[in-house]
């Protein structure tokens, strides 16, 4: 089995004690994504097919390059010290100046960092999000996707195409979750990636669904409680229960205190594979089911159903991937699930309806946003 250097720790993050900024209108987001995708396709139509395919073939190089720049916090250095040559940066960070110049030159030619004629590099719009401490957790996403374990799994995509089985398990001899347990540095980075994703989704989820109709909400596998804290901040009558492992809840307590909602959210240590707290009129799962095969999803939903009273709501926050969708966010996430998880996948509405019905819920409705969707079921 390959061995990999440990990842640096996640950067420190200060969260506001007020609600996060509201999302832009859904129509505006759809328009932006459509225009961006159209411009990318136009650029590729105007280029020789061979050039376009060559650029796609070197995508792994870009992933590794961005991951290395994130690992050494180059954007932080430039933000603190100002524009600098590769020689100056390398001397301070203990890197090879020649290779660093070549790496930053490549990124500058791609629009990430700016490069002057004397070889001085500076941050620009695309490099600034690479700094540590950003709510989007872009630095952590780059560290995760460029990690040795993830890249090695993708190198065996042919195995997943041939058998339908997880390439990650083939390469590493373990599920991604067991791998994280044995590699706490990667687990911490992954948890921060999920926090960044939730920070982007939480305001939209809060606006999409009528949480004002809910009094007691259990966030099942809710991690450090970012989503639940956002919902509680936005809905004064709402009380929450946060279910996750004891170790995760230690971090959650700090986040909830930081946001001023610790007195309104009960911490419930446990595993959603075993049981779920009772006494709530709604249960929420965000980006949980896409990690698992259908049988496991039904099992998880059944655990919720055993805890829920008749009429309680089951709220699923997931991407939606119809069979012929053109949603690039959903299709890329779907392939990541296929490669890394054991039969994980993004699903369409009909598939979620089937899972809910098998577990004792009635499908009611779906609320859509370009980046996240809320599917509602009702315990029967």
Summarised one tens digit per residue, pLDDT across range 310-366 is 999 999 999 999 999 999 999 999 999 999 999 999 999 999 999 999 999 999 999
Residues 267 and 324 in one domain: yes
Is residue 370 domain-shared with residue 222, that is, in the same domain?
yes
**Is position 355 within any domain?**
yes
Q: Tokens representing 346? A: 């993004």
Q: How confident is the model at residue 14 (pLDDT cuts 50, 70, 90)?
A: confident
The rounded distance, in Å, linking the Cα atoms of 92 and 330 is: 41
Q: Are residues 182 and 127 in the same domain?
A: no
Is the per-residue pLDDT at 133 higher than 90?
A: yes
**Residue 156 belongs to some domain of the structure:** no
The yes-or-no verdict on residue 58 having pLDDT over 80 is yes
Is 259 in the same domain as 365? yes
Nearest to 281 by CA among 244, 317, 308, 241: 308
Mean pLDDT along residues 178-197: 95
- Rounded Cα gap, residues 131 and 92, in angstroms: 17
Specify if 143 maps to a domain.
no
The pLDDT assigned to 72 comes to 97
pTM equals 0.94
Note whether 198 and 338 are same-domain residues. yes
| pLDDT score recorded for residue 2 | 59
Is residue 198 included in any domain, yes or no? yes
pLDDT at residue 3 in the model: 67
User: 139 lies in a domain?
Assistant: no
Q: Averaged over 257-273, what is the pLDDT? A: 97
Report, as an integer, the average pLDDT of 218-241: 97
270 touches 294 (CB < 8 A): no
Is 180 found in the same domain as 39?
no
Q: Is residue 136 part of a domain?
A: no
134-146 pLDDT tens trace: 999 999 999 999 9
Q: Does pLDDT of 1 surpass 60?
A: no
Q: How far apart are CA 133 and CA 12, in angstroms?
A: 5
Total domains in the chain come to: 2
At residue 4 the predicted structure's pLDDT band, cuts being 50, 70 and 90, is confident
What is the C-alpha separation between 14 and 83, in angstroms, rounded? 26
Gap between the Cα atoms of 10 and 193, Å rounded: 9
Residue 155 domain-assigned (yes or no): no
Domain co-membership, 185 together with 299: yes
Provide the CATH number for the domain around residue 281.
3.40.50.150
Q: Are residues 243 and 114 in the same domain?
A: no
Helix (H) or strand (E) holding 247: helix 246-258
Whether 270 and 123 share a structural domain = no
**Where is the domain boundary, 131, 166, 184?**
131
Q: What token pair was written down for 190?
A: 């992954």
Please give the pLDDT value at position 5. Answer: 82
Residues 116 and 213 in one domain: no
Residue 80's domain comprises 26-131
Residue recorded with tokens 């987001």? 29
- pLDDT digit string, tens, across residues 69-83: 999 999 999 999 999
* Average pLDDT over the chain, rounded to an integer: 96
Share of the chain above pLDDT 70, in %: 99
Find, among 105, 43, 103, 34, the residue nearest to 67 by Cα: 103
Residue 63 lies in a domain: yes
Residues 85 and 203 in one domain: no
pLDDT at residue 224 tops 90: yes
Q: Of 73, 102, 131, which marks where a domain is finished?
A: 131
Axis-axis angle for helices 74-81, 86-93 (nearest 10): 110
Kindly state whether residues 252 and 319 are assigned to the same domain. Answer: yes
Contact between 366 and 375 under an 8 Å Cβ cutoff? The reply is yes
> Which of residues 95, 115, 131 is at a domain's end?
131
* Contact indicator for 165, 159 with CB cutoff of 8 Å: yes
The enclosing domain of 64 has a CATH number of 1.10.10.10
Sheet of 282-286: strand order equals 265-269, 239-244, 216-220, 282-286, 313-318, 373-379, 361-368
């Amino acid at each position: 089995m390959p061995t990999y250097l440990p990842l640096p720790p996640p950067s420190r993050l200060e969260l506001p004690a007020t609600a996060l900024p509201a999302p832009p209108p859904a129509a505006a987001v759809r328009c932006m994504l459509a225009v961006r995708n159209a411009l990318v396709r136009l650029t590729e139509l105007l280029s020789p097919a061979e050039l376009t395919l060559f650029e796609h073939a070197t995508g792994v190089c870009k992933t590794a390059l961005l991951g290395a720049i994130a690992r050494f916090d180059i954007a932080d250095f430039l933000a603190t010290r100002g524009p600098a040559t590769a020689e100056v940066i390398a001397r301070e960070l203990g890197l090879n100046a020649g290779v660093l110049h070549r790496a930053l030159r490549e990124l500058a030619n791609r629009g990430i960092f700016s490069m002057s004629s004397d070889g001085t590099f500076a941050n620009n719009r695309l490099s600034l999000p690479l700094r540590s401490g950003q709510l989007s957790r872009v630095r952590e996403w780059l560290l995760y996707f460029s990690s040795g374990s993830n890249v090695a799994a993708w190198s065996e995509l042919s195995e997943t195409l041939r058998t339908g089985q997880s390439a990650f398990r083939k390469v590493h001899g373990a599920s991604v979750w067991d791998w994280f347990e044995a590699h706490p540095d990667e687990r911490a980075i992954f948890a921060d990636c999920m926090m960044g994703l939730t920070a982007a989704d939480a305001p939209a989820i809060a606006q999409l669904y009528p949480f004002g109709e809910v009094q007691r909400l259990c966030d099942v596998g809710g991690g450090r409680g970012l989503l639940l804290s956002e919902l509680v901040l936005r809905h004064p009558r709402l009380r929450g229960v946060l279910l996750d492992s004891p170790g995760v809840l230690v971090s959650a307590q700090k986040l909830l205190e930081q946001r001023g909602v610790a007195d309104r959210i009960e911490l419930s240590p446990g595993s959603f594979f075993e049981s779920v707290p009772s006494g709530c009129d709604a249960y929420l799962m965000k980006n949980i089911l896409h990690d698992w095969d259908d049988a496991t999803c039904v099992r998880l939903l059944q655990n919720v159903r055993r805890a829920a009273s008749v009429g309680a709501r089951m709220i699923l926050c997931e991407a939606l991937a119809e069979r012929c969708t053109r949603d690039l966010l959903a299709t890329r996430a779907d392939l990541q699930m296929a490669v890394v998880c054991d039969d994980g996948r993004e699903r369409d509405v009909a598939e979620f309806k089937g899972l809910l019905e098998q577990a004792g819920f009635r499908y009611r409705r779906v609320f859509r946003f370009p980046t996240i969707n809320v599917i509602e079921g009702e315990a029967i």
